[in-house]
């Protein structure tokens, strides 16, 4: 039938060129809606003769299905295209590297504390802590430094004030990290393997001294610990810390009230054109004090010296930080100069670990 073919042609063309889903809906209403053109034609079937009705009805039904299918297809096509357009405009490459924002830097002392904690943790040392305001018993007496001992004067101690009329000995700002030996052994007993990094204070101020500086204490107590273990631990530490294939340490007989025997330890190094090299050369640099823990110290901490023995050492953290990172002046560490911190500081994500290479 001619009229039906014309309708088909017109609607299929409109559907093909519909710009969006709203336009498609408009065409659907115009053709198949309650008052749509095809719907109205269907209603006219009632007025036809049965023969006419049969052929026209069938054609109209086919047309209706055809238009309906074309509308659905166009609608789906438009929806796909809309999604594609949105995906294209909102495309984001999640594999691009981030844009880091500067958030300040990690102080070299903090970085070095992380480094040495990592190295000693790998050797089975836990971290112990103690207060910076310490009783003179922990700082001195328990470490075999009685009140009349000359070492007390040598420590250039800062004393805290007591209240008027309080005759007890004053507390001190700890002059070394060694009191943490006593606290750790008192708390944990033996066997024990700890390091204690932290701040210490002495009344001293020049090119190479500041009134506050940092030490790390080491303590290993067991049944058979000897100076040989001390030597191995220190060599391993120095090799890992300075990131060199080998180091040479020199043990010089010395004296500390809290160790017997005692040794100061130097590391072989060279100074060439103001550049320090660790592990080679003809110079020696003192880096720490050490020895076998004195029986009186064990006893003061409640550890039986007939059963247990071990080593202790104390090392200046600021000093090894200067050595490793080529920082010439100690005083600049504590001046909070942002330019200095930006230059010598470390990024927040530079977290030292042994597997990845300590400082990379």
Residues that bind ligand PHE (CB under 6 A): 176, 178, 256, 259, 289-291, 312-314
**Of residues 105 and 178, the one with the C-beta less far from ligand PHE:** 178
* Least Cβ distance, residue 269 to ligand PHE (angstroms): 20
**Of residues 108 and 310, the one with the C-beta less far from ligand PHE:** 310
- Tell whether omega for the bond before 191 is within 30 degrees of 0, i.e. cis: yes
* Least Cβ distance, residue 305 to ligand PHE (angstroms): 16
**Of residues 233 and 312, the one with the C-beta less far from ligand PHE:** 312
Which position's Cβ is nearest ligand PHE? 314
CA 142 to chain centre: 37
* Least Cβ distance, residue 157 to ligand PHE (angstroms): 12
* Least Cβ distance, residue 242 to ligand PHE (angstroms): 20
* Least Cβ distance, residue 240 to ligand PHE (angstroms): 20
**Of residues 7 and 312, the one with the C-beta less far from ligand PHE:** 312
Three-state DSSP class for residue 306:
coil
**Of residues 108 and 198, the one with the C-beta less far from ligand PHE:** 198
Nearest 5°: CA angle at 96, between 95 and 97?
115
**Of residues 106 and 263, the one with the C-beta less far from ligand PHE:** 263
* Least Cβ distance, residue 315 to ligand PHE (angstroms): 8
Strands 192-201 and 126-127: parallel
Q: Exposure string (b/e) for 126-139, b if CB count within 10 Å is 16 or more?
A: ebbebeeebbbebb
- Record the tokens describing residue 48, joined without a space: 């036809």
Which stretch of DSSP H or E encloses residue 319? helix 317-325
- Record the tokens describing residue 255, joined without a space: 């004296």
**Of residues 105 and 181, the one with the C-beta less far from ligand PHE:** 181
**CB distance 11 to 67 below 8 Å:** yes
Rounded Cα gap, residues 110 and 90, in angstroms? 43
What phi and psi values does residue 258 have, to the nearest 5 degrees?
A: -100, 0
* Least Cβ distance, residue 291 to ligand PHE (angstroms): 5
Which phi-psi region, left, alpha or beta, contains residue 173 (left: φ > 0; alpha: ψ -120 to 50)?
A: beta
Strand partners, 325: none
**CB distance 195 to 217 below 8 Å:** yes
* Least Cβ distance, residue 229 to ligand PHE (angstroms): 14
- Record the tokens describing residue 165, joined without a space: 């009329």
**Of residues 75 and 217, the one with the C-beta less far from ligand PHE:** 217
**CB distance 252 to 288 below 8 Å:** no
């Amino acid at each position: 039938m001619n009229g039906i073919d014309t309708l088909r042609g017109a609607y299929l063309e409109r559907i093909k060129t519909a710009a969006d889903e709203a336009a498609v809906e408009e065409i659907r209403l115009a053709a198949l809606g309650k008052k749509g053109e095809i719907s109205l034609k269907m209603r006219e079937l009632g007025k036809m003769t049965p023969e006419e009705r049969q052929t026209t009805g069938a054609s109209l039904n086919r047309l209706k299905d055809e238009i309906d299918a074309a509308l659905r297809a166009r609608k789906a096509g438009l929806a796909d295209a809309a999604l594609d357009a949105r995906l294209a405009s909102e495309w984001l490459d999640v594999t691009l590297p981030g844009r880091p924002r500067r958030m300040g830097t990690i102080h070299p002392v903090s970085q070095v504390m992380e480094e040495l904690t990592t190295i000693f943790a790998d050797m089975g040392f836990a971290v112990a802590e103690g207060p910076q305001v310490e009783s003179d018993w922990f700082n001195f007496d328990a470490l075999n430094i009685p009140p009349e001992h000359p070492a007390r004067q040598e420590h250039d101690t800062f004393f805290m004030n007591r209240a008027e009329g309080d005759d007890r000995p004053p507390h001190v700002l700890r002059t070394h990290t060694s009191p943490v030996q006593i606290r750790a052994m008192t708390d944990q007993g033996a066997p024990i393997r700890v390091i204690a990094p932290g701040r210490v204070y002495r009344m001293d101020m020049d090119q190479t001294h500041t009134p506050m500086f940092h030490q790390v204490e080491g303590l290993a107590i067991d049944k058979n610990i000897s100076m040989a273990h001390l030597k191995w631990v220190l060599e391993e530490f120095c090799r890992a810390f300075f990131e060199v294939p080998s180091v040479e340490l020199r043990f010089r007989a010395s004296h500390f009230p809290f160790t017997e025997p005692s040794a100061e330890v130097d590391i072989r190094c060279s100074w060439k054109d103001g550049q320090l090299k660790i592990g080679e050369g003809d110079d020696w640099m003192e880096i720490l004090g050490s020895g076998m823990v004195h029986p009186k110290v064990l006893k003061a901490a409640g550890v039986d010296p007939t059963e247990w023995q071990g080593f202790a050492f104390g090392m200046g953290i600021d000093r090894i930080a200067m050595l490793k990172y080529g920082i010439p002046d100690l005083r600049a560490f504590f001046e909070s100069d942002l330019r200095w911190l930006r230059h010598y500081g470390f990024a927040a994500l530079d977290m030292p670990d042994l597997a990845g290479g300590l400082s990379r």
